Each structure stands twice: as C-alpha cells, then as structure tokens.
C-alpha cells in the first residue's frame, strides 16, 4: 500500500512538472532551435565564426538606410497613432454619450484584422481602382486617378494608424479610467485651463500609459510586413521586407540572418522595456467602462461629435469600401462575378488551385492551430498559476514569441527544419505550428488572469473532499474559466486565419492560405485578379469580425485583453 502511494505521488510530481515541460519543449524545438539556426547561418555559415554578413550590413549604405526607414516609419506611425488615440481616450473616459460602447468595440476591431485585409481595404478606398478615385474620375471626367497614394509613405502611415489605434486607445483609456479626476478639478480651481491643463496635469498623469502605448505601437509598426509589402511596393523596404527579399529573391541567407539578428535585438529591447513599464505602472490592455459624465454644454457635445465622426470615418470607411468594391465593377455596376470566380482556377493564374480552396485550407489549419495553442496554453497557464509557484523565468520564456516577428520565425523554419530528424520543410504541419507560436502569448494573456482570479478556497475545498489536482482542475477550475477559454480559442482561430508573415515562408504553392492567396492576387494585373482578391479579403474580414464579436460578447467587459 505504501509502495502504491509512493508511486502515485511520483506520478503526480511528474505530472506537475509536465505541465510546463511540454510547452517548454515545444518552444525549445520550434522557437529556440530555429532562432539559434539563424544565428549559425549568420555568424558561422561554414562552421566557424564569419561576420561577413554583419559587416556587409554595417558597411552598406543601403542596409543602413533600410534600418533608418524601419525606425523612422515606426516612430512617425507611433506619434500619429497617439495623436489620434489620446483625444479618443479623453472623450471616452470623461463623458457619457450615445453609442459609447459601440465606439469602444469599433476601436478594437482593426487590431484583430489581418494586415493583408487592412492593406486591401485601403486600396479599395483610396487606391488607383478604389471607390474614391472612381467617384472623382466619374464626377470630374478624368482619365487618370487624381489621388495617387499607392506605394507612398502616406498610405503606409495611414494603414499603420488604422491598425494600431485600438491598441493605444484601450491602453490609455484603461489607465486614465483608474485615475481620479479630482486632480483635474483642483487644477481648474487653481486656474489651469486649456493647454496648461493638458501640459501640466493630464499628460504628466498619462506619462506611463503614453510611453507603454508608444512602445507597443512601435513594436507592431517596426515589424510591419503585410502593409509595407502590399502598399509600399519595392520602393520601401523595412527589415522585415528585406529579410523576405534576401531569402525569396536573392537567396543570400547570411545577410538575411544578420538582418534577422538586428531585428531580434531591437525587438527584445522593446519588449523588455514594455514589460518593465507594464509591471511598474500596473498597465494592461484591459478595457473597463469608466462612468464619465454627461456633456454639459454645446462645446463638449461638439468635441465629442467631432472626435467620434473623425475616428468612425477613419475606422469604418476602409472596411466599407472593401466590401462595397468587392461587389462592384470599375464602372460602378453591381456584380457577383468576383465571388463566383473564387471557385475557378483561371488560366495563367498566380494560384495553382481555385482561390476558394484557400478558404478551406485556412479553416482546417486554424482549427488544428487553435486546438494545439489552447492545449499548450492551458498547460503553461496551469503551471504558472500553481500555488507551489513556477520558476520566475518561466512566464518570460512563454512570452518570448511575442518579441519575434512572424517573418523571422518563418525564415528560421526554412533554415532549421530541412534535415532529419526534423525534416518538416515541405510538411503542411509547419503551418499550424507557426500559427501556434504566434498565438500562444495572446492565449496565455487570456487564460492566466482567469486562473489567477479563482479564489484559493475553491481548490482547498476540493482537496478536503478528496479530489486530486487533476480532478480539481478538470471538474472545478476548467468550468470556472470556460469563458476565458472560449475567448482564447476564438482569438487563436482568428489569428491563425489571418497569419501572413510566417505562412509566406512555409506554405506550399499548391496549398496557399487565405492571406497568401490575397497577397498573390493583389500582385497580379487584371481586374479579375483584383476583384477576387477583394472578395477573399471580404470573406476574411467577415470571419475576423464574427470572431471579434464573439470575443466581445463572451469576455467580461472588465477583463478584455487585446
């Protein structure tokens, strides 16, 4: 009996360690190993130290300009995003007005959209064949589009602000909502008005949130790929785009590896700064609904209306244009031909399969990736929230994929997983694995807070009644976090459906995902290809919007994470 009890205790101990060992092993094989392989190709391509690639980057004006452009566009995008998000956060936290909750939900929608959909939406709105140019050409009887923003820095910045507005808005408004407004009232009594109130009171109060939001937006725009490669074209190249070009077009792996190392270094510094700010200031991307107060005069109503109109038009117009343009010809006539053509494989098409097949492929891969991500996320979250405590470094390790771009991950897969025993380079299994790595940090951000919020006496009571840890988790804790688990599942599915950077490296030509099919069709001439790309983008937009609605409906308002 004693021997049986010892064996059970040993199995329970192994099970507890296995909670973190399995996801840690997954990260070691499919995250750390590819990154180490990139370092090997970049610094020891022949098995001995060789800094040729790094020296070429440091001595080349082209690569230095690429790094400068990557930094510059990220800084400008960040400043513009904050410039629009701060007034929105001010209105949201200080006033109650009709449509306030709808505005908050709408602000977050762009962040869950794939970058290819965002790029396609701006092309549909203000591109050469977009609705605005079509209307102006028809009205003014012009032969050329009057608005020429495609392949300019302007359209890149607009898309970045559109994509990241919700991140900055939610972080700043959540921080602002937890600060007492009595300080502002006292400042008004002492004579602070207008810009003085902003400069000496509001902005200093918001400094931690502003810096954290700026850091997070900078991270996303620094690693921007889909927006740059679709809207910028060959004229503009960030580190992400240049890494892809070096691998796909020039086949210069040492230079691509050196560029990846530079990007990884920048990303780890930025992520480390954000995590430090988040812990020190108690920041989170959670969005509560502060009470606010009703507007008291016409000036306040005018300010609210102006802000809501500008933001709503900026966020809604591209998406409406995308859907509308997918149903109209260049002459403005309604048509279903673009959707009907999704089931056909046109002669000379850039795709080797009908575009509609990409929808089925993406759904199948997303289902597998969601199951894998949630299982690994549950194991990791359970290990991180056990009362016995996990190693302090474990949570940081599980969040590391957030500090690495999807393009670098895809490149690492090509370098590392092309020889036995991990010869997976031509395997379709790489797609759900890559998507799992991208989604895992976000799934953890949904599950870990839910587990940590459970009262300790629930587990203690179960143990008193004779339930072992496995039974306690399965029958008690898991049902209690079911809503967070549902949110995590939808989030993982949505992210997998829209993942683009890593998929571009590992997807096979005869098995494209939905974002890759959109990217390839947008790069081909002809109205049929363009229309089918918009139709696919609208389908992907619908899937992401439904997923976002489920997240908003399922997750408690006070515990939303993006």
pLDDT digits (tens, 9 = 90+) for 414-464: 888 877 777 887 788 889 999 999 999 888 888 888 878 777 666 667 666
Contact 170, 143 (CB under 8 A): no
- Pick from 502, 414, 423, 56: nearest CA to 254: 56
CB atoms near residue 452 (< 10 Å)? 10
* CATH code of the domain made up of 68-237+291-335: 1.10.3720.10
* Helix runs in 149-193, H state only: 153-177, 182-189
Phi, psi of 46 (to 5 degrees): -110, 15
pLDDT of residue 362: 92
User: What is the pLDDT, as a whole number, of residue 482?
Assistant: 82
Q: What is the pLDDT of residue 194?
A: 62
pLDDT at 274: 76
User: What pLDDT score was predicted for residue 376?
Assistant: 93
Task: Give pLDDT < 70 ranges for the chain.
Answer: 1-19, 179-196, 198-201, 278-292, 346-351, 387-392, 456-460, 462-474, 554-562
Which runs of consecutive H residues, i.e. helices, occur in 282-347?
298-326, 337-340
pTM as predicted: 0.84
> Environment class of residue 519 by beta-carbon count within 10 Å: exposed (0-12), middle (13-18) or buried (19+)?
buried
What pLDDT is stored for residue 363 in this prediction?
A: 93
CA gap 39, 330 in Å, rounded: 49
Cα 248 to Cα 245: distance, rounded to the nearest angstrom: 5
pLDDT at 288: 46
């Amino acid at each position: 009996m004693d021997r049986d009890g010892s064996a059970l205790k040993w199995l329970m101990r192994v099970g507890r360690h296995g909670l973190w060992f399995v996801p840690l092993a997954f990260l070691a094989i499919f995250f750390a190993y590819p990154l180490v392989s990139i370092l090997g190709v970049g610094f020891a391509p022949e098995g001995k130290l060789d800094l040729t690639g790094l020296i070429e980057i440091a001595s080349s004006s082209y690569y230095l300009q690429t790094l400068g452009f990557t930094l510059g566009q990220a800084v400008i995008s960040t400043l513009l995003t904050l410039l629009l998000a701060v007034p929105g956060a001010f209105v949201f936290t200080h006033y109650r007005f009709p449509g306030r909750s709808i505005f908050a939900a709408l602000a977050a929608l762009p962040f869950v959209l794939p970058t290819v959909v965002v790029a396609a939406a701006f092309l549909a709105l203000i591109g050469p064949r977009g609705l605005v140019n079509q209307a102006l050409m028809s009205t003014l009887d012009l032969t050329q589009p009057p608005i020429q923003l495609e392949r300019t820095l302007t359209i890149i910045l607009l898309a970045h602000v559109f994509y990241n507005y919700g991140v900055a808005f939610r972080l700043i408004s959540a921080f602002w909502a937890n600060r007492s407004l009595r300080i502002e009232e006292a400042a008004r009594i002492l004579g602070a008005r207008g810009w003085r109130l902003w400069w000496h009171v509001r902005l200093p109060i918001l400094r931690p949130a502003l810096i954290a939001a700026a850091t997070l937006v900078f991270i996303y725009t620094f690693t921007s790929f889909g927006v740059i490669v679709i809207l910028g074209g060959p004229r503009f190249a960030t580190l992400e785009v240049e890494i892809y070009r070096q691998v796909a077009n020039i086949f210069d792996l040492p230079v691509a590896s050196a560029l990846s190392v530079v990007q990884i270094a920048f990303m780890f510094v930025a992520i480390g700064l954000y995590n430090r700010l988040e812990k020190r200031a108690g920041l989170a991307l959670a969005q509560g609904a502060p009470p606010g107060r009703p507007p008291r005069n016409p000036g306040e109503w005018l300010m609210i209306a102006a802000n809501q109109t500008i933001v709503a038009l900026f966020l809604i117009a591209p998406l409406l244009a995308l859907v509308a343009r997918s149903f109209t010809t260049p002459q403005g006539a309604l048509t279903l031909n673009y959707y009907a053509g999704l089931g056909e494989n046109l002669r000379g098409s850039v795709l080797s399969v009908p575009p509609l097949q990409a929808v089925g492929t993406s759904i199948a891969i997303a289902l597998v990736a969601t199951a894998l991500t949630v299982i690994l996320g549950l194991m990791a979250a359970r290990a991180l929230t056990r009362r016995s405590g996990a190693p302090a470094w474990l949570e940081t390790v599980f969040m590391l994929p957030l500090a690495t771009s999807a393009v670098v991950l895809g490149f690492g897969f090509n370098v590392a997983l092309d020889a036995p025993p991990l010869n997976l380079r031509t395997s379709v299994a790489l797609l759900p694995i890559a998507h799992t790595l991208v989604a895992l940090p976000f799934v953890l951000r949904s599950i870990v807070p839910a587990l940590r919020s459970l009262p300790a006496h629930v587990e203690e009571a179960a143990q008193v009644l004779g339930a072992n840890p496995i039974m306690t988790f399965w029958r008690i804790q898991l049902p209690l976090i079911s809503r967070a688990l549902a949110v995590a599942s939808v989030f993982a599915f949505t992210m997998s459906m829209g993942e683009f950077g890593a998929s571009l490296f590992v997807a096979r030509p005869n098995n494209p995902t939905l974002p890759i099919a959109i990217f390839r069709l947008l790069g081909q001439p002809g109205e049929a290809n363009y229309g089918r790309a918009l139709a696919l983008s609208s389908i992907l937009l619908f899937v992401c919007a439904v997923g976002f609605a489920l997240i908003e409906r399922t997750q408690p308002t006070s515990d939303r994470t993006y």
